[in-house]
Structure 1
Amino acid sequence: MELIGHDWGALITYDACVTAPEPIERALALAIPHPLTFMGRLTHPARLRRSWYIGLFQLPGSGWIVTARDLALIDRLWRQWSPGFSLDPALQAELHERL
Structure 2
Amino acid sequence: MESDEKRITQEDCSEDSLGPGILTLTNKRIAFDKTSGRIIDFSKKFGQTVLEANLNQITEVAKEGRLIKKVRIKVKTDESEKTYKFGVYNTGKWEKDVKEAISKYSP
TM-score calculated relative to the size of structure 2: 0.23
Higher relative contact order (CA 8 A, sep 6+): 2
Task: Point out the structure with max Rg over C-alpha.
Answer: 1
Relative to its length, the structure with more helix (as a share) is 1
Relative to its length, the structure with more strand (as a share) is 2
TM-score calculated relative to the size of structure 1: 0.25
